[in-house]
Amino acid sequence: MSEHPQLRHSETSEKSPRTALLQRPTRGPLYRLLHTLIAILREIFDEAAYTRYLARHHCPSSRAAYAAFVRESDIASSRRPRCC
Amino acid sequence: MGKLSRVFLWTFISLAGALALGMIALHRGEEINALWLVVAAVCCYALGYRFYSKFIAAKVLGLDPLRATPAERLDNGRDFVPSNKWVVFGHHFAAIAGPGPLVGPVLAAQFGYLPGTLWILAGAIFGGCVQDFVILLFSVRRDGKSLTEMAKSEIGRVGGFVAYTAVIAIIVILLGVAALIVVNALKASPWGTFTIAMTIPIALFMGLYLRALRPGKVLETSILGFILVMLAVVGGQWVSVTPSWARLFTFSAPALAVMIIVYGFAASALPVWLLLAPRDYLSTFVKLGTIAVLALGIVALRPTLHMPPLTRFIDGTGPVFAGSIFPFAFITIACGAISGFHALIASGTTPKLISREPEIRTVGYGAMLAESMVAIMATIAACVLQPGVYFAINSPAGIVGQLPAAATATISGWGFPVTAADMQSLAQAVGEQTLFNRTGGAPAFALGMAHIFARTLGGQTLMALWYHFAIMFEALFILTVLDAGTRVGRFMLQDALGHIWKPLGRTSWYPSILATSALIVGAWGYFLWQGVKDPLGGINSLWPLFGIANQLLATVALCVATTIIIKMGRARYVVVTLAPLCWLVAATFTASYQKVLSLNPRIGFLANARQLASSPASSANARLIFNDRLDAAVTAILVGMVALILIESGLEWSRILSGRKPAGVKEAPFIQTRLFSQSGVSQ
């Protein structure tokens, strides 16, 4: 999940690698809109969750990593209700 | 923007909204443009968000920008992740947008466009958005607790039990009705059936592509899947005009029902990630894209509404479903106005993603406004059809007659002229054998959508493609809800049965998986079968049952919310949740009373059973009588349980307000946030 572009941890020395990775330089409004739209789609389609998984386990993307991610997220997503 | 400019802006929005509402409410005798509905909706939503939600945030809930949310405190990069508010908004909207806001307004259009539109606007602004907003905040302040957990801890054990049972009931009834909508859309439709059948190999291909070729590239894979599905929609036309292939994909309603039941069981009991997850991604991709394109289409093309503002069926004699505006319009349209199911989402994944409390207003209130806009678009799609065509599609054969001539004569006799030749040419234009008796709302929505888009790309020549694209979109969407819902229901049942016998609660123990899957699928499968065999089309009895269950769940959510507001010491503002609660109690209890005890056999389950009992005995009759009694019993049990939670809540409110019980809230302790905006903590 990408962080809010305007959010910063108050103690900058404790920034996690994930936080640092996901911070973006400030650009124009169109860029920010596009960036936010892509971030929304990446979250909805679990790409952001996979990125977090890779960061958490300090491993590069691979078939094995993705299979492990799917196994981990399968139970949680199966319990998630879908609306009518 | 200066203060004066803001005053001018909001005065202009108020006047524009009042003008648009006046146009749609008072205009009689002439057709109006759909844009009036859009303007009325956008202005009302803007006013509701700017003023009402801000009032609730500041005065009732006291959103605290200094308070750390569970996403920050419990951040684990997996379930709890502080996120950009627009990302959470998109995620929450994708989760709450189901088939309900598309189907309910289409069915309620039998009253005309006015009742549904007014209810969608008022229901969302004063009811649905408020419910989603407050439940989301209360869940955030309780570390992401679910609605059932909050009902148990804030109201009592009865509250928790009722919420849990209502959730299971609503899932079962929802899945039965959703499957029936798919069956009615695909029966005798080789084109539609072929397209949906093709989504299975496409999803498997996507699954393999994701796993083996491009791990984790879901968006790229979904785009690829979407292109393949579009090819399948085009290919379906060839299938439908090639007799040998058309025969292979032409099924009766009972045959389709059996297939869907088998599919539901397989999806729940077998490890079919390779099929389900990619289909879920594909469905979401198509859903979001179609909603965006439909919104653009309505604004760009400004179609004319042919349906009158009010029809003669406001008296309760409607062919789509029986019952008068009050209470039936208010339970038919749930998801676009207020839906109890949303409380499950607002107390599920979303509270674990919120970075700061003030963002809850945008996510909770704002996403429901977007959902409500989808319902307005569905109303427009249904009302751009000629009323005669709308009623020919949505009326069951048991009401208008089996033969085209009889059906068109009946519908024309109601004052909505339509001929059998019109319907035949329309069916040919969209590549179907017939459009008569296609109850359930999906085909009417698809035709309305095709009607709007046929005015742009390709004109009438592409009408069939647009229609089948819309059918594919709805069926794919509903089947995803079906397989996901079955799995959720199975897990809930396993959790409950685990309290009786531990092995049954083990989600990896295969006998338990098979038994609970069979129970859940058997339950919704029974409702589906009942609908398929119902001479009145099934929707007449099942959609109100679903609406009642969904609104009763909203009643439970609003009871929880009201209880917490009183415990927070904000009793003077309790009307914010108490008013929609009272309205829902009035609507759902009246609807339940009428569905069980009305003497009109088209409305009352028991009256229909009595009428069937007085006709010559047959096995089919006996089954219909049993079904009516079962539906009556289910309705009565649901209402009885919610009456219990109302009594328990009322007693709790009385104890707190009279000072017999201290007004303590069970929130997670306050911890100051470490997330600041660059200019400090701000709204």
β-partners of residue B354 are: B83
Cβ(B359)–Cβ(B142) under 8 Å?
A: no
pLDDT at position B34 over 80: yes
Tell me which DSSP letter residue A2 carries: P
Cβ(B525)–Cβ(B264) under 8 Å?
A: yes
Element (H, E) at B100: helix B100-108
Looking at the predicted complex, does its ipTM rise above 0.85? no
Task: Report the distance separating Cα B29 and Cα B347, nearest Å.
Answer: 46
For residue B442, what are its two tokens?
Answer: 């999906």
Element (H, E) at A9: strand A7-9
Task: Report the distance separating Cα B231 and Cα B244, nearest Å.
Answer: 20
pLDDT at position A1 over 50: no
The full set of domain ranges for chain A reads 12-78
What does the pLDDT read at residue A70?
Answer: 87
Q: How far is CA B131 from CA B338, B590, B632, in A?
A: 8, 21, 28
Of A44, A52, A76, the CB nearest to B94: A44
Tell me which DSSP letter residue B68 carries: B
* Distance of residue B588 Cα from the nearest chain A Cα, in angstroms: 18
pLDDT at position B135 over 70: yes
Average pLDDT over residues B243-271: 92
pLDDT-derived band of residue B274, with 50, 70 and 90 as boundaries? confident
| Preceding omega of A17 cis (within 30 degrees of 0) | no
pLDDT at position B640 over 90: yes
pLDDT at position B660 over 70: yes
Kindly identify which residue of chain A lies nearest to residue B179, measuring between CA atoms: A84
pLDDT at position B273 over 90: no
Vertex A16: Cα angle to A12 and A20 (nearest 5): 75
Do the Cβ atoms of A81 and B488 come within 8 Å?
yes
What does the pLDDT read at residue B2?
Answer: 85
β-partners of residue B305 are: B32
What is the residue-averaged pLDDT of chain B?
Answer: 92
Do the Cβ atoms of B87 and A36 come within 8 Å?
yes
B501-543 pLDDT, tens digit each: 888 888 778 899 999 999 999 999 999 999 998 887 788 888 8
Tell me which DSSP letter residue B69 carries: P
pLDDT-derived band of residue A26, with 50, 70 and 90 as boundaries? low
Average pLDDT over residues A51-57: 93
pLDDT at position B91 over 90: no
What does the pLDDT read at residue B302?
Answer: 92
Vertex B290: Cα angle to B234 and B283 (nearest 5): 80
Residues of A whose CB is below 8 A from B98: 82-84
Q: Which residues contact B391 (CB under 8 A, 6 or more apart)?
A: B110, B319, B320, B400, B411, B414, B416, B418
What does the pLDDT read at residue A19?
Answer: 43
* Distance of residue A46 Cα from the nearest chain B Cα, in angstroms: 7
Average pLDDT over residues B74-100: 89
Do the Cβ atoms of B211 and A83 come within 8 Å?
no
- In 3D space, the residue among B281, B263, B225, B137 whose CA is nearest the CA of residue B525 turns out to be B263
pLDDT at position B195 over 60: yes
Domains of chain B: 8-188+251-657 (1.20.1740.10)
Average pLDDT over residues B583-592: 96
DSSP letters, B277-332, are HHHHHHHHHHHHHHHHHHHHHHHHH-PEE-S-SS-GGGGTT-SSS-S-HHHHHHHH
β-partners of residue B32 are: B305
pLDDT at position A3 over 70: no
pLDDT-derived band of residue B458, with 50, 70 and 90 as boundaries? low
Q: Which residues contact B583 (CB under 8 A, 6 or more apart)?
A: B127, B330
Per-residue buried b or exposed e for B481-511, using 16+ beta carbons within 10 Å of the residue's own CB: bbbbbbbbbbbbbbeebeeeeeebbeeeeee
Task: Report the distance separating Cα B446 and Cα B161, nearest Å.
Answer: 39
pLDDT-derived band of residue B675, with 50, 70 and 90 as boundaries? confident
Do the Cβ atoms of A44 and B288 come within 8 Å?
yes
Report the range of poorest mean pLDDT among B82-91, B505-514, B583-592: B505-514
Phi, psi of B675 (to 5 degrees): -95, 120
pLDDT at position B657 over 90: yes
Task: Report the distance separating Cα A61 and Cα B146, nearest Å.
Answer: 33
For residue B79, what are its two tokens?
Answer: 């379930």
| B339 Cβ under 8 Å from any chain A Cβ | yes
Average pLDDT over residues B616-629: 87
Cβ(A10)–Cβ(B674) under 8 Å?
A: yes
Task: Report the distance separating Cα B608 and Cα B604, nearest Å.
Answer: 6
pLDDT at position B280 over 60: yes
Report the range of poorest mean pLDDT among B96-100, B191-195, B439-443, B577-581: B96-100
pLDDT at position A14 over 70: no
Q: Which residues contact B379 (CB under 8 A, 6 or more apart)?
A: B37, B105, B106, B108, B109, B113, B116, B117, B120
% residues pLDDT > 90 (chain B): 69
Kindly identify which residue of chain B lies nearest to residue A40, measuring between CA atoms: B87
B167-179 pLDDT, tens digit each: 888 889 988 998 9
* Distance of residue A27 Cα from the nearest chain B Cα, in angstroms: 15
Task: Report the distance separating Cα B239 and Cα B153, nearest Å.
Answer: 57
